Structure 1
């Protein structure tokens, strides 16, 4: 009787630990901590002006370039060039370019992407 109660308690504790661990790992995101690793920054239609005006290859290239930036200055140069290109493309198509809610380079700097 005592042994079965002990086994049940150990099983329950193991299941609870596994469930809590899974929840914590899921919240951490993919890779070494959200925003702290090179892959933690997200780029999308909501934070990249001209996202809908780019091809999938241009989006992929832009994300790779931004993530590869080693300094804040390099990031802002890439970002400014991309914004200028998208502004020209938007003007050609007669559409208004969306304004990002936050500056991507500032977000990357705050999350420790640059030294």
Structure 2
């Protein structure tokens, strides 16, 4: 019985470790090559300044919009704010 409870609890626990880019949290994932996905994830983890992160995020979104339009598709809305970790705690939602 204890094993069942521990297994169930472990599945509900949030994932630990560094943030990972995925199709669930990255706008334009489907328009990126595997190499670009790895590079994107590394860039996001490397930012130390909010302004640099925001500039990259805006450029990335523009590029993904262009790629989507080039394929006659739409870029999904929403997604995660990749720069949130650099914002002052008071400015976070």
TM more than 0.5: yes
Q: CA RMSD in A?
A: 2.5
Deviation at 1:28, TM superposition (A): 7.1
* 1:40-79 matched pairs, under 5 angstroms: 40-79=18-57
Deviation at 1:45, TM superposition (A): 1.1
2:75 alignment partner, SS class: coil
Task: Tell me which protein shows more helix as a share of its residues.
Answer: 1
Which structure 1 residue ranges, 5 or more long, are not aligned?
1-18, 31-39
Which structure 2 residue ranges, 5 or more long, are not aligned?
1-5
TM-score by length of 2: 0.71
Q: Which of these residues, 92, 95, 104, is aligned with residue 70 of structure 2?
A: 92
* Count of aligned pairs between the two proteins: 79
Q: Deviations over 1:31-74 (max 9, x none)?
A: xxxxxxxxx22321122111011000000111111111111111
Where does structure 1 differ by over 3 angstroms across 4 or more consecutive aligned residues?
none
TM-score by length of 1: 0.58
Q: Please say which structure displays the higher CA radius of gyration.
A: 1
